[in-house]
Amino acid sequence: MSESVSDLWITPSVLSADLARLGEESAAVLAAGGDRIHFDVMDNHYVPNLTFGAPVLKALRDYGITAPIDAHLMVKPTDRLIGDFLEAGAATILIHPEATEHVDRSLQKILDGGAAAGLVLNPATPPDVLDFAMWRLDWILVMSVNPGFGGQKFLPESLRKIGMLREKIEKSGRDIRLAVDGGVDAENIAAIAGAGADTFISGSAVFGSSDYKATIGAMREALAGVAAAGRETR
């Protein structure tokens, strides 16, 4: 890795926030050093859990959250909701290829609406699903747990996939973020960055801690070590 630590984004997932205080909690993790907000949308159909929709994202905007909010849509079908999330003010819309009939059309809809577009790979989804989509992508997100719940354990096989995707991105010559979602904490974040990720989504490790600043700070410190090592080996 050759990034400086500021190229590496830590993105708290508000799935694990105190949802009765979502505005305050979002402001708190941003003040504690989070780079953006990750917003997990679940429909009890594509994934076996139900969370929140576009009006809740809009409510965060109205509350005064101006940082980028990345909407991770675990919903099937996706296209109508893409429109809702564009309107609500999502910076990035991340979709699962298995959840939409026409992946290219869905990506185009996101991009036409002015948001960044990303595809999400489940643990058993092979990277070649991206081959004819790379040119549309701003983000690739590797699920390092099965989607649907916070607080699961990081699947170690994800590291190999992150490495493969880093190579694919380098080969494409495109500026694509490589994000990892699920079971990310201060203990494993360095290994995940070492494998090639640049964007770290973390829910329960951040919101389950009593001091958001200390937790995000510990993650940042672990990442600084990886960035420094990357510079030395260049």
Where on the chain is the footprint of ligand DX5 (CB under 6 A)? 13, 15-16, 38, 40, 72, 145, 147-148, 150-152, 181-184, 201-205
Picked from Zn ion, ligand DX5, none, the partner binding residue 16 (CB below 5 to 8 A depending on kind) is: ligand DX5
Q: List the one residue from 40, 43, 185, 198 that touches Zn ion (CB under 5 A).
A: 40
Active site residue 181: yes
Q: Could you tell me the smallest distance in angstroms from the CB atom of residue 196 to ligand DX5? A: 19
Whose Cβ is closer to ligand DX5: residue 65's or residue 143's? 143
Angle among Cα 46, 47, 50 to the nearest 5 degrees reads 110
35 binds Zn ion (CB under 5 A): no
Picked from Zn ion, ligand DX5, none, the partner binding residue 152 (CB below 5 to 8 A depending on kind) is: ligand DX5
Q: Could you tell me the smallest distance in angstroms from the CB atom of residue 130 to ligand DX5? A: 19
Task: Tell me which residues in 163-222 interact with Zn ion (CB under 5 A).
Answer: 181
How far apart, in whole angstroms, are the C-alpha atoms of residue 118 and residue 142?
10
What angle in degrees, to the nearest 10, is found between the helix axes of 79-88 and 54-63?
10
Active site residue 40: yes
Tokens of 5: 């630590």
Angle among Cα 142, 168, 170 to the nearest 5 degrees reads 110
Residue 61's closest CA among 34, 91, 88? 88
Q: Name the maximum alpha-carbon separation found in the chain.
A: 47
Task: Point out the catalytic residue in the list 43, 70, 181, 185.
Answer: 181
